Amino acid sequence: MLKNEFFCLLGPSVCGKTTTLRCIAGTLKPTKGEIYIDEERVTHVPPQDRGCAMVFQFYVMFKDLDPFDQIAFPLKMHKVPMNEIKKKVTEIAEVLGIKDILHTPVEKLTVEQQQKIALARALVSDAKLYLLDEPLTNLDAKIRAKMRQTLEELKKKCSL
């Protein structure tokens, strides 16, 4: 793959798309072969050191964190200074149209808002590689179409 290339894995259910993404991310060890990112062999590198950000098909919301802290979580784990965290979270929230809900309790969020928060949590990092595992599957058709458009706009803005 080339820098800023957008690549999709397509195939029927249970063919190994998620397994492949999990191997690349490092949350699953491949049974054969090697994983390379930017020409560096990362097969045995821990997930947190691979420079990958992943959005799972069945995303997770931390019940005790508001949307701001949900999105800021990976930055806090990497000990990014708070002023930079605030700036990055605000920027990605603005791009995804969720800036106005950053301090809303999780239980009051719509499915679309939760999906955008999960996406923002991955995209807020300066990752080498963004892995999106069917990030729109759980949305209804109208919202899915809107999110496709949002992802396309985000790709153009951020050179993903």
Q: What SS3 class is residue 130?
A: strand
Q: Give the span between the Cα atoms of 56 and 155, in whole angstroms.
A: 18
The pLDDT of residue 30 is 94
Q: Give the span between the Cα atoms of 103 and 119, in whole angstroms.
A: 17
The pLDDT of residue 19 is 93
Sketch out the chain's domains with CATH numbers.
51-128+136-158 (3.40.50.300)
Name the maximum alpha-carbon separation found in the chain.
Answer: 46
Q: What SS3 class is residue 67?
A: helix
Who's near 145: CB < 8 A, 6+ residues apart? none
Q: In a structure prediction context, what are the per-residue pLDDT tens digits for the chain, which is 160 residues long?
A: 556 667 778 888 899 999 999 999 999 999 999 999 888 999 999 998 998 988 887 778 888 999 999 999 999 988 999 999 999 999 999 888 899 999 999 999 988 888 889 889 988 988 888 888 887 776 778 877 877 887 787 777 655 4
